[in-house]
Amino acid sequence: MPVVDAVYSAEIRKARRDLHHLISSKSCAPIMLRLAFHDAATYCKETQTGGPNGSIRKPEEFEQSVNKGLKTAIDFCEQIKLKHPIISYADIYQLAGVVAVEVAGGPTIEFIPGRKDSEEWTAEGRLPDAEKGASDLRAKFNRMGLCSDRDIVVLWGGHILDRAQEDRSDFDGPWIGKPLKFDNSYFKELLKAHKDEFMKLDPWALQGFQGKRLANLLNEEPEGLLLLPSDRLLMTNAWFRLYVITYAKNPNSFLEQYAISHKKLSELGFIKRPPFPLYYVYMNKKNNKSNMLPQTIAGLAIAASVMIIWYRIRRRKKKERKSGGGGGGGGAECNGDGGSGSDIDGGSGVGGGGQWAEVVAAVMARLACEKNIT
């Protein structure tokens, strides 16, 4: 573990300036951000292995198919390591990701140094796989300790920079037409690419002043988005889709949340956090922000409300069955047996309150998971 004293901190500041110059001159922000993500996203909170520990520099790891092309970024970072040898590889890789976002016009992300280099490489299979869809995406992020859908969606939006060129992955082509600008274009293009489906699932989102802005956005010409299997899941899953809509309409909301989520990713297994939600209250008090505490309280209130609604629906169903009355089909309720009621997941209705049970389970799982982040 490096000793973060005045000398080390001074070297970090110098390395930050050197990385800014290197990334700007080489136009390598996308691959540097990808390097930081791939080194950090191997973390497992149960075994406390992997994570932002610099292990991706090992041939056994950077030669894995999912890390194709990252040797270029590793070599760029080696130039920084030669100039600042006391800085750990783990710190250099995560600092490179932070600077890459800033060079591309993204938010300034707080960086805390002191990561320890690992001499052991991480086995293949821990990174989120674009071809495996929702179950893999959620499972991999949950394994890291990032259980919030907000973190999943906003970090996936960071692919705005990744041009996914042939030497980097199996998806050949740009994510969007202007890949070196870090903004909310990914979410806007995602909505435009699924315009018809979105308007069918969420017509309410087009109401009011913000809705008119969103409607105008949907009528714009697409810039050319490389769609991955996981992109569709962000639109078909209601939890994910709500954040896609939010970030498409509000670029500042995306940038603010990205800075928070990126920091969490870069500190997995490195920074010990108080239990949820105290960490978020503390962080926003530290940053002189007051918006997160109301959001946290609102989130817990919504979860409690959903549980109460689900419980009452189940009780009514039991009473109907006892009195000989069956659940009516085709009703407007979200839990009508055989009905086509409101669908929280954007698909077909599910009888017997199954959808609400799924919502409650998801809410409680995420709260429990975030409570156990280390």
Residues forming the active site = 38
What the block records as the tokens of 326 is: 């069956």
Give the residue among 171, 174, 225, 172 at the shortest CA–CA distance from 195.
225
Locus of tokens 């409570």: 371
What is the spatial distance between Cα 237 and Cα 49, in angstroms, rounded to a whole number? 30
Which tokens belong to 51? 């994570």
Q: Give how far Cα 278 sits from Cα of 265, 281, 360, 373, Å.
A: 18, 5, 22, 12
Token readout for 173 is 């082509």
160 vs 154: CA distance, rounded Å: 11
One-character DSSP codes across 77-91: HHHHHHHSTTS-HHH
CA dihedral in degrees (60, 63, 67, 71; nearest 10)?
Answer: 110
198 backbone φψ class: left, alpha, beta (φ>0; ψ -120 to 50): alpha
Contact 171, 130 (CB under 8 A): yes
* DSSP percent split of the chain into helix, strand, coil, nearest 5: 60, 0, 40
* 58 token code pair: 């090992």
Q: Tell me how far CA of residue 270 lies from CA of 38, 59, 249, in angstroms.
A: 16, 23, 34
- Would you say how long the chain is, in residues? 374
Beta strands in the chain (DSSP E): none
Phi and psi for 63 in degrees, rounded to 5? -90, 0
Distance in Å from the first CA to the final CA of the chain: 18
